[in-house]
Amino acid sequence: MALNSNMEVLEAQIRELFGRTVWTHKTQEKCADILNARNHTIKIIQIVLSALTTTGILITVFGDNDVVGIISAIISTTLLILTTYIKNYNLGQIAQKHSDAAIKLWNIREKYLSLLTDIKINAMTEAQIREQRDILQKELFTVYKGAERTINKAYDEASKALKQNEELTFSDEEIDNFLPDKLRKGGK
């Protein structure tokens, strides 16, 4: 196999690894968002159920209303079940682990992007590229090993974000808007 062909194969592999890292980063990010939203909703439900239970108990104690007492007991039982669920599944903590994994994956994604840039401009030897690829693979393994498993909804939202909303895609004009005049491609 010719040297040029070896470089093409290495570049193809690194492009694939970059793509996978982009997807995994976005999926971890979306999973954190979903779990944070669920956690917020559950906390609001807990507050509402607590308020209803307390109100019902006060009405029962001071108003002698048995129906309200029964309803309060049912609400209180629902609150107990919900609180038990939250105790066993700390959604806030799990969401934070997804967020931490996403941050680490973002860094690796950017390193892959830089490696692809170096390949395109012939700034590295084949051996250097393989060495950097192997280092990044070890970093990825460490992140994956410590990351929480994602949920299907997070993958679906990541897919929508990347394919439909093009969250990681910028036109030259959009990039130019972020840059000072002297660095703009549009020649301003």
Question: Does residue 147 lie within any of the structural domains?
Answer: yes
Predicted confidence pLDDT, tens digits, the chain (188 residues)? 455 788 899 999 999 999 999 999 999 999 999 999 999 999 999 999 999 998 888 888 787 777 888 888 899 999 998 888 888 888 999 999 999 999 999 999 999 999 999 999 999 999 999 999 999 999 999 999 999 999 999 999 998 988 888 877 777 787 777 667 876 776 55
Question: Does residue 122 lie within any of the structural domains?
Answer: yes
Question: Does residue 186 lie within any of the structural domains?
Answer: no
Question: Does residue 174 lie within any of the structural domains?
Answer: no
d(CA 158, CA 30): 6
What pLDDT does residue 1 have?
A: 45
Residue 140 token pair: 């990825």
Question: Does residue 185 lie within any of the structural domains?
Answer: no
d(CA 136, CA 17): 9
Question: Does residue 183 lie within any of the structural domains?
Answer: no
d(CA 153, CA 72): 35
Question: Does residue 23 lie within any of the structural domains?
Answer: yes
What pLDDT does residue 186 have?
A: 65
What pLDDT does residue 183 have?
A: 66
Question: Does residue 178 lie within any of the structural domains?
Answer: no
The total number of structural domains that make up the chain: 1
Domain extent, residue 116, equals 3-166
